[in-house]
Structure 1
Amino acid sequence: MRKVFFLCLLILTAFTGQAQELKGTPGTFTLGNKEFLLNGKPFIIRAAELHYPRIPKAYWEHRIQLSKAMGMNTICIYLFWNLHEQQEGVFDFKGQNDIAEFVRLVQKNGMYCIVRPGPYVCAEWDMGGLPWWLLKKEDVQVRTLQDPYFMERTKKFLSAAAKELAPLQIQNGGNIIMVQVENEYATFGEEQAYMEATRDAVRTAGFDKVQLFRCDWPTNFNRYQLDGVATTLNFGAGSNVEDKFKVFQELNPTAPLMCSEYWSGWFDHWGRPHETRSISSFIGSLKDMMDRRISFSLYMAHGGTSFGQWGGANAPPYSAMATSYDYNAPIGEQGNTTDKFFAVRNLLKNYLQPGEILGEIPEAKEIIEIPTFELNQSAGLFVNLPAPKKSETIQPMENFDQGWGRILYRATIPASAARRKLVITELHDWAAVFVNGQQIGKLDRRRGDNTVELPPLTTDAQLDILVEATGRVNYGKAIIDRKGITEKVELTDGKTSTEIKNWLVYNFPVDYEFQKKAKFKKGTATGPGWYKGTFKLTKTGDTFLDVSSWGKGMVWVNGHNLGRFWKIGPQQTLYIPGVWLKKGKNEIIILDVDKPEATRVAGLREPILDELRPDESLLHRAKGEELDLSGEVPAITGSFSPGNGWQEVQFQQTQQGRYLCFEALNAQQANDPLASMAELELLDEKGNQLSRLKWKVVYADSEEITAANHAADKVYDQQESTFWQTQTVGGKPKHPHQVVIDLGEVVKVKGFRYLPRSDKSTAGMIKDYRVFLKESPFKL
């Protein structure tokens, strides 16, 4: 009996020691020998990543409670600099932006918190969380010590954020146990001095007691060192856990192990298939980590919604994020529990620490339907223009003090009976082109469009270019992503080109106050315009607005910006939180810069996240195309070793060319008809990686775009967890398999690096290969 009593007392004491700081008592969180120590006792972090701006404030606690019910003991959050400082020097931490309130709710619900203040965060968020107004500085550089202005503004933001959150460090009686320094920096650079300066700025700001950490990938974490800061790794569902930590453990034998972003799913791109990750692969690697006592943070536990203008983009190739950030996460976009949620809950209940119990699953939020109704008022964009600004040369919207939305450029072009083309250099990101009020073309940065055929003109004509920004690049070197038209517009007859000058510029920001000023009248707008309607409710609840009959634009309901829509999908609904609706009369405004098929909407009980209506073929192979390599001499022929990890190949001599063909001759496994590749990098004569920003796939013999998003351009998207894979649905073409890339310019190449797929599957792993490089296009 005495033994049982003392055992119970020991368990109770251990649990009380771990939980004491959640009651306001100062505590400690430190690094031990191969483990984290909470108040001196071993602690395994089971964290759920949530993003407060992607969740209406009224639902914050609901999502926190769902995370606890799933078996988590910690909530992990980014801070979004551009959300809190939308104008330089004006900080906002109130209401929806009240991060301290969010962290206190986490503590109230008996959970710890990990804070990731950046300054850069990625998160598929506009400019990776960096504020747009940095781009008003013409020569701005980011994530480097080379720009004192960037570092100065970084320090000011970190100080403002620490003023809100430093009192909530665990050592002060709060629940913040770790704070991150920057984010995945090794994928961007290896400037150790910058990371050291950022670490020091985080400490000086006020995060001077809490344990600091940084995160990178298993393949690049060692590109720089950061003393006094713990290192964690990021990788995705289905990964081989032992393999991911192998090199790290060899170099850091006593360090605690943590996967700081365990990717539960993936994000969606406009015009690409909806992304999912299987429960079996996801749970398998999670169980591996639990069995090995490895801490983790589930990215995402609940993705939520990139309301308003906040969705970002990737490049290369340029590809904007959908508004829904459902992420195929365990907790759905609406806060609904999924099969993946219950799989996590059923797993983690077996790994709770002494004294822990699973949290109760909170009551689900009510979902309602809204019957179909018409938006019977409209306001044409061209008859509701704001006051113009004059500019001799064309300039990006940032130069006109505009952060997001749409911008109209207007100029006069001279008469000509000859056929001419309009050439736009650096369109960011989508445009409709009009001559004398008639639309003559649409251009899309995703496709690399830049040219429109002009009709013959008997007199001088009015040229209008309406540009919509669809998200700033949030990842890699392309993050300096100004919007509108960033270089020039020219007229060309094929022989000579003339730059168009003397523009009138009209700015269309995203705030509701601007939209409601439009002069509405009954009927349908001619061309781009706003549409307004009302609907009545007898009760409120969450719903999904069906926008499948609309073209491209943005929606406001009762003044709340729901985000972007685009008919190409895969998303055809927009989530409306019930707390943004009211009993009685509700207002909706839709700005459509393209053309609606019908001006009606409805509220659905289920989202539509997987309905593609592509405006182009997603395949990088035209019907009837066949690559002809006869007579071509390979730059190199070789074989890859089996297994994961980067492999580097050097040519015997430097090769020069613009068009590269990679040909997979067979797979590592006999009789495997597939080919797959995660990343391909080209190296110059000094061994440096060549830029991939101008790369474009011009041919792929086969790629899987039906069952999954495994298009050929995944070989240079700088995401190690995505990959090109040949077709698996509707037949499996046999080897050889080829991908042909236009490098955008003639380059000198001394070698290349190849990364096979990084999940547990070995399907399509390449064995023998050939690489061709030439200055002229390959025969198709």
Structure 2
Amino acid sequence: MKKLILVCVLCIAVYCTTHSQNSIQRTSKEKDKSASIKTSDFTLGQNEFLLNGKPFLIRAGELHFPRIPRAYWDHRIKMLKAMGMNTVCIYLFWNLHEERMDSFDFSGQKDVAAFVRLIQSNGMYCIVRPGPYACAEWDMGGLPWWLLKKKDIKVRSKDDSFFMDRSGKYLKEVGKQLSSLQIQKGGPIIMVQVENEYGAFGKDGDYMEVTRKNVLAAGFDRVQLMRCDWSSNFNNYQTAPSVAVTLNFGAGSDIDKQFELFKKLHPSAPLMCSEYWTGWFDNWGRPHETRSINSFIGSLKDMMERRISFSLYMAHGGTTFGQWGGANSPPYSPMVTSYDYDAPIDEQGRPTEKFFAVRDLLKNYLNPGEKIGVMPTPLDVIEIPKITFTKSANIFNNLPPAKKSKSIMSMEMFDQGWGRINYRTNLTASTVPRKLVVTEIHDWASIFINGKLVGNIDRRRAENTIEIPPVPNNAVLDILVETTGRVNFGEAIIDRKGITEKVEIQEGDHYEELTDWSSYSFPVDYTFQSNVLFKNEPALGPAWHKANFILNKTADTYLDLSTWGKGMVWVNGHNIGRFWKIGPQQTMFVPGVWLKKGNNEIMVLDLEVPAQRTVMGLNRPIVDRIVPDASLLVRKKGQKLDLTSMIPVLKGKFDDRKNWKDVMFKNAISGRYFCLEATTSILDKDVTSAIAELQIIDNENHLISTQKWKVIYADSEEMTAANHAADRIFDNQESTFWQSQYIGGTTQHPHQVVIDLGAEYQIKGFRYLPRSDKNKTGMIKDYNIYISVSPFKM
């Protein structure tokens, strides 16, 4: 009896909702009613969140249930609790639940209600972020691809009635799943977010108001609503006073600086960092991203000392299985399959040094009655001996039925959401080499003539042209396009796939558009792959490769794909995701629950020819090995910018404050090429330079779109110790930055970066943002600005 009473008391102290405590006997209906009112309330107080009328500090960690096999959901939730969290923050992805218009799916791996109930059963609360836009390095930020079938679609805008109608319907479906789990109804959901980081996209408060009303209409009419933005843009628009405003920022941030303006405008509001970035995401062909424990824990401790609520993004990232990985732009930069994120809990669910640092810190800041959770049993990892592939199927021998069109069209217009698409037409005869010009290739293309590979075109490098050899009349041209994730952030989110505009043959100054296309769609679902015809011989060129292997024991493993080229993997029918030899990810996480004792099947679609047709299962990942197909550096060997004949349009000096700095010229200046030259740093002995973001202003005081920008010169980039590439200065991510080389570097001031804006503009000024963390290394002091209509001398 004493043991039962103790269990009941602990349950009430840790988590006091009514309907989850069915084992607790009530003495009367009046007492039950009174307890229901008392234990089901979460509101905004004076500089505090209030749980049942008492101050409550949110210690949340972000988990994405689609990135975790359902069998592991409970394990990951328990890991969060063991790290010191009392709340789980979750995204929903619209495109996951409505892959086809009007066909909603919340079953199996997509059963969000089951995930939220697991959170409750573990004595934790939940913050739900349903969108309709999410970001999260997820394909199109969670928006469904079929929106792009509407040629004039405007997303995240009240001006597009189709988008608003469809997003409203989606939110209602979410409400059917989760509205009964609001804390006021006995569930664990304490807050629901309206949209996501809208201040980084637009300033239309009316759109946010309509979206807020759609959230309410979906049934979230009792729970506390919230929104999140950055400290630099949260005031770009206004929302209803009842919506809690929270901020997002990264490891190492100056906490007082982040909340400085917010506290002036919202002096009585609770403070919360709704995304405290524990690490960062990885891009194909870029160095693996990490964030130091010291900077991460330092800012987290600062928040605890100030009683600022937080959510760790990510607490555990998991894996972006299948086709769901997104991309950044500009420049176009797709995400790897692993969403490890350098988070406290790694991709396989194991604790890292960050995990124990968080746990040791938070045990000192628990709410009354709380205890750190118990660590769950670790999940096993196995090695799998080398598997050799003996069966292959060439893509061109397995073409699906053709779809005819006069002009070339994106894959969405063929009702295809993801995967690969092959475009075929015939060429006229030529006795001399010509150029093939592809306008807007999305995203990576292999060019074949009469079945022979001519070369590749890579959107990451803003490529669109390739030389083709002389050909006879009616030579067959195939352009096999691989999609590598829709843009998930910013104005480039309207990201149709395949070839989105036109293909031309250039001979001298003459351009001829190619027509009469046959298009062949290769979707990503396993059923399609399993129907191809395999032969017991190695195939040349793009092909599927299949093998079987026997296991006596199942557990998690990491498939080593380092000898393969570029493509996708299926294991026992599960789409494991994309691989690419350029790295930094060389292994792919395979959950043990997707393996079987006895016979297993693995299928690899490789668009190149693998160096070795073998794989093996490792007991730990390889996520930090770059094998670049071209130099990562902008500056060509021996190249040097020559500004001796140029006169600066401006010489200036920046202060040492970590805020946006607006600089306007006396008169507008015509130019296409913009050069910022740093001559000294804020720290006198510092010889590096760093820029987080750069925006350029035209003569009508508008920001010039960055979508066509390209860095054509940077004297130095730190790409060894960290991912501080020069194009970070216009990636719309304030926590990333360009920095000149500081490991093994020999360059001194001045440091220059040159941007081709893509067209000539009347330039009136610019905005500069230094790095946003506490570190002042590389902050620019004295600088020169050069602008030119023609390229600078190099």
Question: Which TM bucket (shorter chain)?
Answer: over 0.9
Q: Are 1:636 and 1:770, in contact at CA under 8 Å, matched by a contact in 2?
A: yes
Matched, 1:532 2:530: no
Report the residue type matching 1:197 in the other structure.
V
Corresponding position of 1:433: 447
Q: Are 1:726 and 1:732, in contact at CA under 8 Å, matched by a contact in 2?
A: no
Report the residue type matching 2:524 in the other structure.
V
Q: Which residues in structure 2 correspond to 1:273-284 (within 5 Å)?
A: 273-284=287-298
Matched, 1:482 2:496: yes
Corresponding position of 2:656: 642
Report the residue type matching 1:604 in the other structure.
L
| Distance (Å, rounded) in 1 between the aligned partners of 2:280 and 2:686 | 27
Corresponding position of 2:149: 136
Q: Give the match's secondary structure for 1:282.
A: helix
Corresponding position of 2:172: 159
CA drift of 1:20 comes to: 5.3
Q: Percent identity between the aligned chains?
A: 62
Corresponding position of 1:215: 228
Corresponding position of 2:402: 388
| Distance (Å, rounded) in 2 between the aligned partners of 1:333 and 1:347 | 23
Matched, 1:169 2:182: yes
| Distance (Å, rounded) in 1 between the aligned partners of 2:651 and 2:113 | 58
CA drift of 1:460 comes to: 2.4
Corresponding position of 2:209: 196
Which of 40, 53, 59 is matched with 1:40 structurally?
A: 53
| Distance (Å, rounded) in 1 between the aligned partners of 2:146 and 2:83 | 40
Distance 1:14 1:601, change over 3 A: closer
Q: Give the match's secondary structure for 1:23.
A: coil
| Distance (Å, rounded) in 1 between the aligned partners of 2:452 and 2:354 | 50
CA drift of 1:685 comes to: 1.9
Q: Which residues in structure 2 correspond to 1:218-617 (within 5 Å)?
A: 218-227=231-240, 228-617=242-631
CA drift of 1:295 comes to: 0.1
Q: Could you tell me the TM-score, scaled by structure 1's length?
A: 0.98
Residues paired across the two proteins, number: 771
Corresponding position of 1:779: 793
Q: Are 1:312 and 1:321, in contact at CA under 8 Å, matched by a contact in 2?
A: yes
1:624-648 per-residue CA deviation (whole Å, 9 max, x = no partner) reads 0010001112121111111201010
| Distance (Å, rounded) in 1 between the aligned partners of 2:559 and 2:735 | 32
| Distance (Å, rounded) in 2 between the aligned partners of 1:629 and 1:708 | 29
Corresponding position of 2:21: 23
CA drift of 1:458 comes to: 3.2
Q: Which residues in structure 2 correspond to 1:725-740 (within 5 Å)?
A: 725-740=739-754
State which drifts further: 712-721 or 221-230: 221-230
Report the residue type matching 1:87 in the other structure.
R
| Distance (Å, rounded) in 2 between the aligned partners of 1:686 and 1:351 | 51
| Distance (Å, rounded) in 2 between the aligned partners of 1:12 and 1:688 | 58
Q: Are 1:14 and 1:41, in contact at CA under 8 Å, matched by a contact in 2?
A: no
1:580-627 per-residue CA deviation (whole Å, 9 max, x = no partner) reads 000000000000012211100000000000000001111110010010
Q: Could you tell me the TM-score, scaled by structure 2's length?
A: 0.96
Q: Are 1:424 and 1:488, in contact at CA under 8 Å, matched by a contact in 2?
A: yes
1:45-101 per-residue CA deviation (whole Å, 9 max, x = no partner) reads 000100000000000000000000000000000010000000000000000000000
CA drift of 1:418 comes to: 2.2
1:76-135 per-residue CA deviation (whole Å, 9 max, x = no partner) reads 000100000000000000000000000000000000000000000000000000000000
Q: Which residues in structure 2 correspond to 1:33-72 (within 5 Å)?
A: 33-72=46-85
Report the residue type matching 1:128 in the other structure.
G
Q: Give the match's secondary structure for 1:579.
A: helix
Q: Are 2:586 and 2:623, in contact at CA under 8 Å, matched by a contact in 1?
A: yes
| Distance (Å, rounded) in 2 between the aligned partners of 1:766 and 1:415 | 56
| Distance (Å, rounded) in 2 between the aligned partners of 1:229 and 1:458 | 67
Corresponding position of 1:103: 116
Corresponding position of 1:78: 91
Report the residue type matching 1:393 in the other structure.
S
Distance 1:27 1:732, change over 3 A: farther
Corresponding position of 2:769: 755
Which of 762, 765, 775 is matched with 2:779 structurally?
A: 765
| Distance (Å, rounded) in 1 between the aligned partners of 2:605 and 2:15 | 55
1:370-412 per-residue CA deviation (whole Å, 9 max, x = no partner) reads 0011011000000011111101100000000000000000000
Corresponding position of 2:641: 627
Q: Give the match's secondary structure for 1:222.
A: coil
Q: Give the match's secondary structure for 2:235.
A: helix
CA drift of 1:18 comes to: 5.0
Matched, 1:127 2:140: yes
| Distance (Å, rounded) in 2 between the aligned partners of 1:635 and 1:186 | 32
Report the residue type matching 2:53 in the other structure.
G
| Distance (Å, rounded) in 2 between the aligned partners of 1:745 and 1:725 | 26
1:505-564 per-residue CA deviation (whole Å, 9 max, x = no partner) reads 000000000001110111111110000001100010000000000000000000000000
1:162-217 per-residue CA deviation (whole Å, 9 max, x = no partner) reads 10000000000001000000000000000111000000110011100000000000
Report the residue type matching 2:156 in the other structure.
R
Distance 1:358 1:13, change over 3 A: closer
| Distance (Å, rounded) in 1 between the aligned partners of 2:614 and 2:251 | 39
Report the residue type matching 1:621 in the other structure.
R
Q: Are 2:682 and 2:778, in contact at CA under 8 Å, matched by a contact in 1?
A: yes
Report the residue type matching 1:23 in the other structure.
Q
Unmatched 5+ stretches in structure 2: 1-5, 23-35
| Distance (Å, rounded) in 2 between the aligned partners of 1:18 and 1:732 | 61
Report the residue type matching 1:284 in the other structure.
G
Corresponding position of 1:5: none
- Once superposed, what is the RMSD of the aligned Cα atoms? 1.3
Q: Give the match's secondary structure for 2:431.
A: coil
Q: Are 1:304 and 1:326, in contact at CA under 8 Å, matched by a contact in 2?
A: yes
1:651-676 per-residue CA deviation (whole Å, 9 max, x = no partner) reads 01001111111100110111210100
Corresponding position of 1:4: none
Q: Give the match's secondary structure for 1:239.
A: coil
